[in-house]
Chains A and B, each alone.
Chain A
Amino acid sequence: MSIEVKNISYTYMAKTPFERQALQNITVTIEKGEFVAIIGHTGSGKSTLAEHLNGLLSPSTGEVCVDGVNLKGKGTAVKAAKHKVGIVFQYPEHQLFAETIYEDIAFGPRNSGKSEVEVEKQVRMAMGFVGLNYEDFAQRSPFQLSGGQMRRVAIAGVVAMNPEYLIMDEPSAGLDPSSRDAIFAQLLTVFKERDIAVILITHSMEEAAQYANRLLVMSKGRIAIDGKTEEVFQKQRARLQEVGVDVPESIKITDLLNQKGLSLEEQPITKEHLVKSIKKAKGWS
């Protein structure tokens, strides 16, 4: 059970002066149960790759298969395969349209032909997922909400489709820290409970370090590094710098502390680990 990307390339606006190759010979397999973070410089092809994973874009060459079904074809099998992959776009609150929050979240499940009873169940589940109280919010207009709440409704709209592969394109951009933490906490719970794959596109190394167990670093339309999050951050710093990507703050802090004479043993990639290793070095724990 996986998304297989086989040697795809993609060119925007082919055969015009605006032609630009966004992806070049990308091959990657994402298994269920993986939490993958895609990081890379702006314009490195992260979002373009994401849009290939559920057939929104068709590769110029190569193919994408979800659970063995090639997305290029038509028919019910392909449609079902596409429905398995949910994608939360950047600033998803800009896609809200319905009169009530309920209707907006129900849009996806209804399109996949679920009965009204099931739709309601899904909407309740999705609203719970993003931390919006069903009784309070279901019948309100999504346009009266704050930005953070609108974002949550939009995310719920995708979660309600019960995706087996959930792609999130910078879900935390422009959110306050508490909404961000709430969304990620829920995401982790669902990820662990349901054995889905999460693909997180982010500019925040901290988010990548904290949540992802695998890291795809993209540069100029290619995958520059593919590996375990810890190993990439700890061992491939030079290569990361080459493609314009930073390491998490906690590694930098470790470096500074080491320069000041405190000898920390490891390179912690999250702040929790950093605290632990400082305590250990100081003999406080």
Chain B
Amino acid sequence: MLSDITLGQYFPGVSFVHKLDPRTKILATMSFIIAVFLAASVTSYALLLCFVLSVIFLAKLPVLLVVKSIKPLWIIITLTLAIHLLTGQGEVIWSWKFLSITKEGFIMGVMMSMRLVLLLMISSILTFTTSPIVLTDGIESLLKPFKRFGVPAHELAMMMTIALRFIPTLLEETDRIMKAQMARGAEFTGGNIIARAKGMLPILIPLFISAFRRADELAVAMEARCYRGGEGRTSMHELVYAHRDFVAAAGMLLLILIIGLLKWSSGLCVI
């Protein structure tokens, strides 16, 4: 029922992308996001899309799976597309009563929604190919230099680990509670907004209670195992960069460079 939510779920496998150091992957994802915001022309968006597709191919992920990760935001994406389509100024290519679509609006709309799609896809690739534990190891290691400025690197990483760890648990719990209430004749669809909100209560209240209970139990269990923050803590898996990380970094730099060049040259000619 809820198990088809794929955002933020590790998809085990053996591939170039899976084997990359988590730090490389996080930094590459961030660079890609910057590249997405730099991109301003159809060519650069096409290039970015090709890049994402080749990463999916390299990671040996089913394309459909990555495409499915767009699902949670499809309303926003369609809305973005629609707003740009209908509010654009310029050469009219289609009109009906007071609505009209312009060529500029169309290009803008496609690019803006493409932006969202690319952001979603690249971040799903990151979480599909990196197990949550490794991911937070990477974040902790990346944040460490900022410790002297008072950034609680370990604590943040631990909080993320726990949050990520509990996503599937809470989903499962939600699933179970929903089933239990459905078995008592509850319906979660239909009716107006107030009726629907009311209908959610039988799920939300037990869910909150169990989340608090779990948090409490976890805190006790961690204390019982002498957890007392990051001070002097060592890691079982030390992160080491390998050759492939440099290859990936080079590829990423090249992409940014091209996108940057395209943007710079777009000052000279549009397209």
The residues of A with any CB-CB pair to B shorter than 8 Å are: 12-13, 16-17, 51, 54, 56, 83, 85-87, 89, 92, 94-98, 107-108, 111-112, 143, 157-158, 161
Contacts and interface: CB of A to CB of B under 8 A. Distances in A.
Given A12-B3, A94-B177, A94-B206, A157 B184 contact: yes
A158 B3 contact: no
B210 interface: yes
Contacts of B12: 17
Given A16-B65, A97-B206, 6 more contacts: A13-B3, A85-B183, A87-B180, A89-B180, A97-B201, A108-B185
A82 to B, nearest CB: 8
A158 B12 CA distance: 40
Contact of B180 (A95, A111, A161): A95
Contacts of B184: 107-108, 111, 157-158, 161
Nearest to A160: B184
Contacts of A12: 3
B187 interface: yes
Given A89-B176, A92-B180, A111 B13 contact: no
Given A51-B179, A97-B201, A16 B206 contact: no
Nearest to B183: A87
A11 to B, nearest CB: 12
A111 B185 contact: yes
Interface in B28-74: 65
A136 to B, nearest CB: 23
B210 A107 contact: no
Interface string B20-34: 000000000000000
A157 B177 CA distance: 14
A47 to B, nearest CB: 10
Main secondary structure of the interface of A (DSSP, over half): mixed
A177 B48 CA distance: 64
Interface in B81-123: none
Contacts of A157: 184
Given A12-B3, A13-B3, A89-B176, A97 B183 contact: no
B152 interface: no
Contact of A107 (B173, B202, B203, B209): B202
Nearest to A104: B202
B183 A17 contact: no
Contact of B185 (A92, A95, A98, A161): A161
Contacts of B65: 16
B186 A111 contact: yes
19 contacts: A16-B65, A17-B11, A17-B12, A51-B179, A56-B179, A86-B183, A89-B183, A94-B176, A94-B177, A94-B206, A95-B202, A97-B201, A97-B202, A97-B206, A107-B185, A108-B185, A111-B184, A158-B183, A158-B184
B54 to A, nearest CB: 22
B182 interface: yes
Contacts of B265: none
B18 to A, nearest CB: 12
Contacts of A158: 183-184
B205 interface: yes
B169 interface: no
B123 to A, nearest CB: 19
Nearest to B3: A13
Contacts of A95: 176-177, 180-181, 202, 206
Chain A CB count within 10 A is highest, among B3, B12, B201, for: B3
Interface string B191-215: 0000000000111011001100000
A74 to B, nearest CB: 12
A143 B183 contact: no
A107 B173 CA distance: 20
Nearest to A109: B185
Contacts of B3: 12-13
A97 B205 contact: yes
B179 A83 contact: no
Those 7 A-B pairs whose CB atoms lie nearest each other, nearest first: A111-B185, A108-B184, A97-B205, A95-B180, A87-B183, A97-B202, A56-B179
Given A51-B179, A56-B182, A95-B181, A16 B201 contact: no
A56 B179 CA distance: 6
A96 B13 contact: no
A57 to B, nearest CB: 8
A216 to B, nearest CB: 20
